[in-house]
Structure 1
Amino acid sequence: MTKPVPADIISRLKAVLGENGWSQDPERLQPKLVEWRDRWFGDTPFLALPANTAQVSAVVGVCYEAGVAITPQGGNTGLVGGQIPQGEILLSTEKLSRVREIETFDDVIVAEAGVTLAAIHEAAAGVNRRFPLGLASEGSATVGGFISTNAGGTQVLRYGTARSLVLGLEAVLPNGDVWDGLKRLRKDNTGYDLKQLLIGAEGTLGVVTAASLKLFPVLESRAVAWIGLTGLDAAVELLARAKQEAGGAVEAFEMIARIGVEFVLRNVPGSRDPLDAPYPYYVLVEFASGEPGSAEGAMERFLAKGLEDGLVADAALAQTGAQAKALWALRENQSAAQKPEGVVWKHDVSVPVSQVATFIKQADAAMERLTPGCRIAAFGHVGDGNVHYDVFGPVGGDPALHEATRDEAGRIVNDIIAGFGGSISAEHGLGSMKTDEAAHYKSPVELAAQRAVRLALDPKRIMNPRVLF
């Protein structure tokens, strides 16, 4: 239970932030206290709105001295509740919104924690560069948020997670000290890599205030195809063939179950089914190359061979940018389209790529035994083994009963994942939702090491105290 924040600490925080740097207005606070799926609701006595790194340092320093807990928050797009305070001071990075610098020779953009991913994309495009982290929530997800959760997205297959895209960080450590690690170095072998500790730490080791991010060339040759599969096993086989046919040009390889497509068609206006007949699973494939015509040619050969060998049942190849965007919308709207469909057990998991189809089949059978008639919307980044495995109750079933079985279903799915040597959180982090469950699957050695790191940097455990170990 978070301790009440003393009135004198609130007064000190108001003084260091200035008149426009804080709020206790319930209407101002309310949107920041609700997770977008309405699963987590929080409360806070005070919203800190620092405008620069020095103010972040001052806020954290005051709280550290007094032993007052802090929950950092970026765009509030997290899906595991880690950004929702439960009585702690809420520190929002929304005013840290400057792109400080962009340099094409070094291929780097330096941006503050509150800059949205969409703004990063726009700034990069303005200098004919690209930042290849793609998230459906790009309009609200922020630099600090996607770094603190080590976000993955749709281009992990080619570019890696956020961890692979960060050159340097600036951060305020739990005692209020500012660490200036905004390097642009591609190689730096001088001991422990502090930035890698902060990436994916979900705000438990400090507050990221700015980052140096890698930029990449814009690839003009691009091909996008929507493919109906003859069976689930065909997805993994087609991935191997795509890599062989296109080499390093496979930009994304996403899988979507038919029921997920039906959710989008039903709940997202303007959506259209790309193929004439339905198929149980689909893959959305994108190739990109700097060589004119290369991606298009590789895609045509890939599809022709897949049709010939019976792995591809049907396919739609985007002929324009608008068509490609429409195909991607079917994938990017999966989560949003689920909201009207009722109670759902959501699992963000990963297994070795070769085992994706086997995992889904085993989990499907287990869920059917637990809840006969359940509806399973599996989708995700099959190219990197990350499956969003979402289970809805039967049509006409009792939502309360489905909700009551959530924990049992989670343990069943996670046990299956553990059997594959997989992860129960592939890209969303642990947050409030999965911290306790993750401790069940981690070894005592790993837990002790993680706790030792946290204790060394935050001995008072003031940073996001409910999250991680």
Structure 2
Amino acid sequence: MTPTAALDTLLTALRDGLGARHVLTDPDALAPYLTESRRLFTGSALAVLRPGSTEEVAFAVRACTQADIAVVPLGGNTGLTGAGVPQGGVVLSLERMTRLRAVDPVDATITVEAGMILQDVQDAAEAAGMMFPLSYASRGSARIGGGVSTNAGGIAVLAYGNARDLVLGLEVVLADGRVWNGLKSLRKDNAGYDLKQLFIGSEGTLGIVTAAVLKLFPRPRSTSVAFVGLVSARAALDLFVFLRARMDRDLTAFEYLPPFALEIVLRHIPGTVQPLHGAHGAYALIEVASARPDADTQAELESALGQALADGVIADATIGTSGAQNAALWRLREGVPEAQTREGASIKHDVSVPLSRLPAFLEQAGAACTAEMPGLRPCGFGHFGDGNIHFNLSQPSGMAAAEFLAEWGRFNRIVHDIVHDLGGSIAAEHGVGLIKREELARYGDPVGLDLMRRLKAALDPEDLLNPGKVIIRDDRDASTAR
């Protein structure tokens, strides 16, 4: 059988099994599935498959792998490292798998299919009187399967952890089409290896997540948000340590902004206003939330910041007095990525270092990058409380965007060398995908990289699940995915 005839036979079988309208081959229909959200990568695919059930996912994977065709799983296509960009083969979209399977307020769990939008998961939890805390800017379009597969973080990691910490059980389709049913809601289960952890953060290279049991939490009864002016990043660290000791688990977010970040948000994001009098060397957005019936987070935050002001830890602060004011303060932080886009081209680094070394990283990386390119505008912002900084670099004013972006590799080396020297990670919460796979090979521990390759070979011996992402098999050329 010729390759063309074999492909036609496969597509016919897929149309029979999934329905013709769920096997897309027209170039115009394929286009939205081939480019990642930042438009850094555009791939190619033979078809897009849209199964509607776990059984259909298993059928599609079996059919494709038996035909030696690679399968690239795709959620909401909101990833930032190119993990969902196909390099041949077929795209398997989970967009039709949106069922809410169960909510159990007693067990404090929610069971959802992988294609469910994150915002819908949050809304379903709220309707049951509970809260699902995983949250990030793309929650209105990101799908939970993608969040699990990339071990997504976001704004609540400080209090609740990454996706890895919020998953109790998984249902996964393996490379041979078998279904592993690990949908347990147990908080304790030491019956052998914790298999679900293999698939969380694996970016679809070891198996395709089709459903998940997620942890729920009591809804906060009291939430308060403050925006604080500080002298420096080192002062921000002092404030965080002080608040962590005072607020304990009620400290749910501690986000950091340099002056440049606030400047561009105020310039580009409609409706934002200067929150403090005067200018400061650094800023922090702080959220305190509690489910205790007697909690008064506003009074507690006012008292804590009053003490910090008296001790000279902070220079100024404002506290929201309503939900609308809290949202307005959060907009100053959440508007940074959009403001950077409007300001011009930016080279982005999603990194983490030990909390104690964050100020040193910001100082060293900022100085090294501006020395390399005068006029460059560093914008290191983000999840200070868990050590994760989005160290982005905005182009010098007047420089052509293409010329600036061509220097991405050079600045990767500068920033990632500093991260590595400080004991950090070059991939904090966005994953590896395509954009960082060579960086992982450069900075990763050799033994750890060998273990990853062995796991990939054991679970996907033909290298047909999202090939070329995260880890590159020694015996495969990722650029020739079938």
* CA deviation after TM superposition for structure 1 residue 18, in Å: 1.1
RMSD of aligned C-alpha atoms?
1.4
The equivalent of 1:449 in structure 2 is: 451
The equivalent of 1:73 in structure 2 is: 74
The equivalent of 1:416 in structure 2 is: 418
* CA deviation after TM superposition for structure 1 residue 29, in Å: 2.3
The equivalent of 1:235 in structure 2 is: 236
Counterpart selection for 2:464 from 456, 459, 462? 462
For residue 6 of structure 1, give the secondary structure of its aligned residue in structure 2: helix
The equivalent of 2:134 in structure 1 is: 133
Q: How many residues align?
A: 467
Q: Distance in 2 between matches of 1:245 and 1:10?
A: 61
Q: Distance in 1 between matches of 2:403 and 2:368?
A: 17
For residue 223 of structure 1, give the secondary structure of its aligned residue in structure 2: strand
- 1:283 equivalenced with 2:284 (yes/no): yes
Q: Distance in 2 between matches of 1:160 and 1:139?
A: 20
- 1:170 equivalenced with 2:181 (yes/no): no
* CA deviation after TM superposition for structure 1 residue 250, in Å: 0.6
Contact 2:265 2:272 in 1 (8 A): yes
For residue 414 of structure 1, give the secondary structure of its aligned residue in structure 2: helix
Q: Distance in 2 between matches of 1:313 and 1:32?
A: 48
- After superposition, give the CA deviation of every residue in 1:136-171 in whole Å (9 maximum; x if it has no partner): 110011110000000011111111110000000001
The equivalent of 1:154 in structure 2 is: 155
- 1:219 equivalenced with 2:237 (yes/no): no
Counterpart selection for 1:324 from 302, 309, 326? 326
The equivalent of 1:304 in structure 2 is: 306
Q: Distance in 1 between matches of 2:274 and 2:313?
A: 20
Counterpart selection for 1:440 from 439, 442, 452? 442
The equivalent of 2:90 in structure 1 is: 89
Counterpart selection for 2:428 from 420, 426, 429? 426
User: In terms of mean alpha carbon deviation, does 14-23 or 122-131 score higher?
Assistant: 14-23
* CA deviation after TM superposition for structure 1 residue 392, in Å: 1.4
TM-score, structure 1 as length reference: 0.97
- After superposition, give the CA deviation of every residue in 1:183-210 in whole Å (9 maximum; x if it has no partner): 0000110111111000000000111000
The equivalent of 1:31 in structure 2 is: 32
TM-score, structure 2 as length reference: 0.94
Structure 2's unaligned 5+ residue stretches are 472-482
Structure 1's unaligned 5+ residue stretches are none
- 1:118 equivalenced with 2:86 (yes/no): no
Q: Distance in 2 between matches of 1:130 and 1:290?
A: 11
The equivalent of 2:58 in structure 1 is: 57
Contact 1:245 1:298 in 2 (8 A): no
* CA deviation after TM superposition for structure 1 residue 319, in Å: 0.3
* CA deviation after TM superposition for structure 1 residue 404, in Å: 2.1
User: Partner amino acid for 1:392?
Assistant: S
* CA deviation after TM superposition for structure 1 residue 264, in Å: 2.0
Q: Distance in 2 between matches of 1:281 and 1:10?
A: 56
Contact 1:113 1:209 in 2 (8 A): yes
User: Partner amino acid for 2:319?
Assistant: L
* CA deviation after TM superposition for structure 1 residue 215, in Å: 0.3
User: In terms of mean alpha carbon deviation, does 21-30 or 327-336 score higher?
Assistant: 21-30
- 1:15 equivalenced with 2:16 (yes/no): yes
Percent of residue pairs identical: 44
For residue 107 of structure 2, give the secondary structure of its aligned residue in structure 1: coil
The equivalent of 2:251 in structure 1 is: 250
* CA deviation after TM superposition for structure 1 residue 298, in Å: 2.0
For residue 382 of structure 2, give the secondary structure of its aligned residue in structure 1: strand
The equivalent of 1:348 in structure 2 is: 350
* CA deviation after TM superposition for structure 1 residue 399, in Å: 2.7
- After superposition, give the CA deviation of every residue in 1:78-131 in whole Å (9 maximum; x if it has no partner): 000111112220010000001111011100000000101100110011011000
Q: Distance in 2 between matches of 1:413 and 1:337?
A: 22
User: Partner amino acid for 2:126?
Assistant: A
